Amino acid sequence: MSEITVLSETALTMAELKEKLAKIEKRDKELGFRANKTKEYLANFTIKEKNIAALKKKFAALEITRMRDRHIAKLIDLDPKDADSIKVILSGEALTLKEEDYAKILDVLQG
């Protein structure tokens, strides 16, 4: 069996993943088993079609130290409404934020 080498890894939001799957399905005419399951999963959940590129730029402009693309993708997907929700979403990560950082994140998500 051949070895698979990962060339790069990029965190995607659910909306971006949905777009990529649509392109792959259009190109290949048929999706594989896992891709079909992923498509079904994405169809069952409400995905807000926001301008994701603009949101990612706004998050990058915040310059919060140690915040990575995967954190941003989680926050965009789950769209928390208060600081406690952000704390719960990021609780499994090795990331600590100041109270003013929570306010900045909420401003970006609500604005």
**Nearest by Cα to 76 from 100, 102, 106:** 106
Task: Answer whether residue 4 shows pLDDT above 80.
Answer: yes
Give the rounded distance of the alpha carbon of 35 from its chain centre. Answer: 18
pLDDT digits (tens, 9 = 90+) for 28-69: 988 889 999 999 999 888 666 678 888 889 998 998 888 899
Query: Could you tell me the residue ranges of all domains in the chain?
Result: 52-110
- pLDDT for the residue numbered 81: 92
The pLDDT of 80-106, averaged and rounded, is 91
| Residue 107: both structure tokens together | 């401003």
Give the rounded distance of the alpha carbon of 16 from its chain centre. Answer: 8
